[in-house]
Structure 1
Amino acid sequence: MPWTAVTTEPSQLGESPFWHPGERRLYWVDIDGRQVSRVDPASGRVEHWPMPTEPGCIAPVRGGGLVVALRAGIFMAREWGGTLEPVAQLPFDPATERANDGKCDALGRFWVGSMHEPKAGPRQPVAALYCVDARGAGPATVRRMLGGVATANGLAWSPGGETLYWCDTPTHEIRTWRCDAALEPQGEPQVLKRYAPKPAGWQPGAAVQPGQAAYGGRPDGGTVDAEGAYWSAAYEGGRVLRLSPTGEVLADVALPVRCPTMPCLGGDDGRTLFVTSARQGRPAQELAELPGSGCIFSLQVEVPGLPVAFFDPGRR
């Protein structure tokens, strides 16, 4: 079955999609476009909510509303388009770092990865993965769970919560982290799958050019289905992979865009695979050949996903 375009108005950098079961809408962010968006697939109606800075990721809130990781801080709004109330600050310099990929765990904590974004030069491994816990009546706590990353991405949990998946995109590695019964990571993360590095001289485009080596991309956002398989978007690879808990490739599905960014599973039966994508910074020839770049695409799959986890705002 071919991919279906869910949106036709492209995002610059679409990310952080989730299916809201109560509203039957798909939510996502456009990081570079500085907005949160949602679409009703049944009607095709799309709504946009401008943000003051780049929204790295979002999650629904128990009791209604959204939690949003902006460039340096975590904010919450009780309704669509509502006032953004501060929840916590992330401990880094927003001039060179911003919030990136993230989602909530089953306990209602908001895990947010950051990325190094220098004004000049390559990204350095100075970013981190944080856990924001707002449960209870006191101030939210922010814990630095790991550091030494350039672009934290791919966050997801196995169905029972015993495994946390994540990746540092520039390393081309997807990693797993064993968790205890309280969903606390234990020991050191292990490599699940290592993507092949970008070949020397590789040039972006819709297809491999004559004499040019193929490139399978590098891991971006991810999600887990009900069988425990991990779906990973291969940025610049034009595909999504479905991996077993041991790293075996179960499916390799090509997309009509070069830069998919993050998959999620939703729809009424949980069997619709949605994938966001990017167009910012892409060459003109690629955008001409792949005009859907930046749009969201969907595909029907056999195994349903897991329900989205909601943020617990405590007594706020």
Structure 2
Amino acid sequence: MIPNPAYAPEAWQTVTQHIATLGESPFWHPYEQMLYWVDISGKQILRANIYMGTVEAWDLPSEPGCIAPAASGGLVMALRDGVFRAQAWGGPLQLLTTLDYDPSHMRANDGKCDALGRFWVGTIDETRTLHNAALFCVDARNSGHTGTPQVRCMINPTDLPAATANGLAWSPDGGTLYWADTPSHTVWAWNHDQTSNSLSTQRVFADFKAKPVGWLPGTLDANNGGYRGRPDGAAVDVQGNYWVAMFEGRRVCQFAPDGSLLAEFAVPLQCPTMPCFGGEDLKTLYLTSARHHRNAAELAAFPLSGSVLSMRVEVPGLPVNFFQD
């Protein structure tokens, strides 16, 4: 599919002058009217006042894979060595729980909260040789005086071998959960019973052509075996359409709930990482990106790599879900 000319790379705007190494996990805070995101390899949480053009950076002791706002204030975050709570920006970190993985070669990656305020965290195998990534759910709603949340492994390597958890999102009614393994070039979907918090009926939602041997950034589609990137982070709009950033693909794809491709949006950088919807009307699509481990030629060709971009869209997105504790 040829990208809609109305959404060519020139349709995107640069949100701030700040460049992250590995930007991820963006969300729009509706009460603060600010955009939050993380720089994983830079070990920072970032937030921007879009209207003032200012950015604040919060240095952390280890890599933040994902973050979410908390209903009682502050943030919940998944760092390399556990899930932490901070009551205020830049405040002290309280360890809520650890997850069942070896932090010497694994860390938290893509994650967010569901509509009931449970924090879901996927993991990544940094060696890229093991398929032991998993998806955990941290439920602190009934932790009481102990302060210890319930942790469940919702998708484990025995059921679905995966290396890099990504693409987490839910349909507007919460009845469908989406999750991707980036190296497998596949997005799956499950039926999700929110009350019992159970998953069933796993199926392939979207799959993409694998990366050919010898591929180089900037290679034209006709000469690269059809490779156009692999699925990274995702978001869902109010109509249930699934928007996914295609890492190395210079595009964002919009899929209908039935898995059919509705549109492609060309991006002026090689490695978009994750979209989110924001602004007062939730019709601004924000997009993080990466420059981590990209070669000099690519960075010279795409100097916006690592920045946050924005684009106006016709259909509003779902608002961010808040962590409940």
1:146 to 155, 164, 170: 155
Shift of residue 72, structure 1, vs aligned partner: 2.3
| Cα distance, 1:123 vs structure 2 | 3.1
Q: 1:157 & 1:30 partners in 2: Cα distance?
A: 24
1:43 and 2:52 aligned: yes
Cα RMSD (Å): 1.4
Q: 1:160 to 1:212 in 2, by over 3 A?
A: closer
The residue type equivalent to 1:291 in the other structure is P
Unmatched tracts of structure 1, length 5 or more: none
What's the secondary structure of 2:134's corresponding residue?
strand
Q: Distance in 1 between matches of 2:14 and 2:99?
A: 35
TM-score by length of 1: 0.95
Aligned counterpart for 1:76 among listed residues 79, 85, 101: 85
Does structure 2 conserve the Cα–Cα contact (< 8 Å) formed by 1:60 and 1:66? Answer: yes
1:164 and 2:170 are equivalent in the alignment: no
**How many equivalent pairs are there?**
309
The letter for the 1-side match of 2:56 is E
Q: Match of 2:231?
A: 219
- Residue among 126, 136, 141 paired with 1:135: 141
Within the candidate set 257, 264, 268, 2:269 is matched to 257
1:288 alignment partner, SS class? helix
Please give the secondary structure, in 2, of the residue aligned with 1:56: strand
Where 2:200 maps in the other structure, the secondary structure is coil
CA 1:108–1:261: 2 relative to 1, 3 Å: same
In structure 2, list runs of 5 or more residues that go unmatched: 1-5
Task: Give CA deviations for 1:237-282 in whole Å, capped at 9, x if unaligned.
Answer: 0100000011111110000110000000010100000000000100
Tell whether the 8 Å contact from 1:177 to 1:185 is kept in structure 2 after alignment: no
Deviation digits for residues 37-83 of structure 1, max 9, x if unmatched?
00011111000000100000000001210001000200011110001
Q: What does 1:1-316 correspond to in 2, within 5 Å?
A: 2-118=11-127, 122-136=128-142, 137=144, 138=146, 139-148=148-157, 149-182=162-195, 184-205=197-218, 207-208=219-220, 211-313=223-325
Name the aligned partner's letter for residue 199 of structure 1: P
Q: In 1, are the aligned partners of 2:250 and 2:270 still within 8 Å (CA)?
A: yes
Cα distance in 2 for partners of 1:7, 1:154 equals: 24
In 1, Cα distance between equivalents of 2:85 and 2:237 = 27
2-structure distance, mates of 1:251, 1:230: 11
* Letter of the structure 2 residue corresponding to residue 221 of structure 1: G
Distance 1:210 1:219 in 2: 20
Report the equivalent of 2:3: none
Query: d(CA) in 2 for partners of 1:91 and 1:113?
Result: 11
Conservation of the 8 A alpha-carbon contact between 2:221 and 2:227: no
- Aligned mates of 2:203, 2:224 — CA distance in 1: 32
Secondary structure of 2:135's partner? Answer: strand
The percentage of aligned residue pairs carrying the same residue is 53
